Amino acid sequence: MLVFEFKAYGKQKQYRAIDEAIRTGQFIQNKCLRYWMDTPKVSKHDLNKYCAVLAAEFPFADDLNSMARQSSAERSWSAISRFYDNCKKQSPGKKDYPKFKKHNRSVEYKTSGWKFSENRKKITFTDGKNIGILTLKGTRDLNFYDLKLIKRIRLVKRADGYYVHCCVSVDLQIDLEPTGNAIGLDLGLKYFLADSNGETVEPPNFYRASERQLNRANRQKSKKYRKGIKPQSKNYHKARMSYSLKHLRVSRQRKEYCKRLAYSVIQSNDLVAYEDLNVKGLARNRHLAKSISDAGWSTFRQWLEYFGNKYGKVTVAVPLHYISQNCSSCCETVKKTLSVRTHVCPHCGFMADRDHNAAMNILQKGLRTVGHTGTYTLGEFDPLASLEKSCGVTVG
């Protein structure tokens, strides 16, 4: 599935209609979640049928396209099924019980409720929300794809305007010449990543670099806020938008950096092993939460797995047990605290940077075990067999 993003241009009346459609989708999503809570043994099909009940009861819900209502119900079911899966797996900690949504920023249409113009530079929404015709601007040309391949249209609201996402059902696979290289990556805060070859990449720290401007914009927003006054003044909303735009810029900087770095790693190697980090759990550390969120480890992993699937490379997430403590040369355990940045093995005399030693251990684990391979489930294919076939080497 490819997702093409276009900036949507229209009138203020149309933007208000998009906001109303997003609120309606959020209302249906929350209603479906409440229906699941109050009714035993509810299935995904039951939630889809409940959308028709909501449309008959609430006129504003009936104005939204029927497939858009079903898409909102599917979002609720996605949260419910994730909760069921966590319970079955008996994963430690909280099981992500579904929560009601307060600030949805998108609404999704399926194969109806929209229509492209002849040159596919404009899109018309034909449901009762009266969004009308929106002009699309972007670098992608939809004329290369059949309209039957466009399975979803998503309207997204951001700080700098409104966007249209076109989800095209295309399996894009690109074959590259094998490089014969395998690499292990250790993600951290001192270095964004340290690989098994001894190379390091400095962290970009986009949030830290912009923190002073963000704090100033936040103070300006707070000064203009008046408690208990509804609606707030225009100056407050201007300050709020300025603050949101600065955060959006930092987010885009981080995403683009992770995307470029992941692309470079995938292009240079046939197998990439990395840590199976629980970033959400690590961010609970109040001393390191800001730095961990600024690093963008999850974003980097997502792009790594995406490019690995696209270019036919093997990506393996390995467990974290004793990666920093074990010696990559003799496999003996050498216990050390976080303040010790150099690995010195008393058994074999091997000495290396702590992160470099961890990256070598990650590579060894990636070569020995299948682990969790990218976004695939265990048993779909064998990454080691794929590596042997592409590189012409035997992995053992």
Look up residue 261 and give its two tokens.
């770095």
- Domain positions in the chain: 2-168, 182-201+268-391
Spatial contact of 159 and 241, defined as CB atoms under 8 Å apart: yes
Distance CA 270, CA 177 (A): 9
Distance CA 131, CA 33 (A): 27
Distance CA 159, CA 162 (A): 8
User: How would you write the pLDDT of the chain (396 residues) with one tens digit per residue?
Assistant: 788 999 999 999 999 999 999 999 999 999 999 999 999 889 999 999 999 999 999 999 999 999 999 999 999 999 999 999 988 888 777 788 999 999 999 999 998 999 999 889 999 999 999 999 999 998 888 888 888 899 999 999 999 999 999 999 888 788 888 888 889 998 988 889 988 888 889 999 999 999 999 999 999 999 999 988 888 899 999 999 999 999 999 999 999 999 999 999 999 998 999 988 888 888 888 888 999 999 999 999 999 999 998 888 889 888 888 888 888 778 777 788 877 878 888 888 788 888 888 888 888 888 886 544 444 333 333 444 444 444 443 333
Helix axes 66-89, 12-38, angle to 10 degrees: 40
All residues at 6 or more sequence positions from 22 whose CB lies less than 8 Å from its CB, including other chains: 104, 105, 106, 107, 155, 157
* Confidence at residue 8, expressed as pLDDT on a 0 to 100 scale: 94
* Confidence at residue 364, expressed as pLDDT on a 0 to 100 scale: 85
* Confidence at residue 386, expressed as pLDDT on a 0 to 100 scale: 42
Torsion of CA 26, 30, 36, 42, to 10 degrees: -10
| Sheet with strand 114-116: strands edge to edge | 106-109, 150-158, 161-168, 2-9, 132-137, 122-125, 114-116
SS3 of the chain: the string is CEEEEEEEECCHHHHHHHHHHHHHHHHHHHHHHHHHHHCCCCCHHHHHHHHHHHHHHCHHHHHCCHHHHHHHHHHHHHHHHHHHHHHHHCCCCCCCCCCCCCCCCEEEECCCCEEECCCCCEEEECCCCCCEEEEEECCCCHHHCCHHHEEEEEEEEECCEEEEEEEECCCCCCCCCCCCCEEEEEECCCCCEEECCCCEECCCCHHHHHHHHHHHHHHHHHHCCCCCCCCCCHHHHHHHHHHHHHHHHHHHHHHHHHHHHHHHHHHHCCEEEEECCCHHHHCCCCCCHHHHHHHCHHHHHHHHHHHHHHCCCEEEEECCCCCCCECCCCCCECCCCCCCCEEECCCCCCEEEHHHHHHHHHHHHHHHCCCEECCCCCCCCCHHHHHHHHHCCCCC
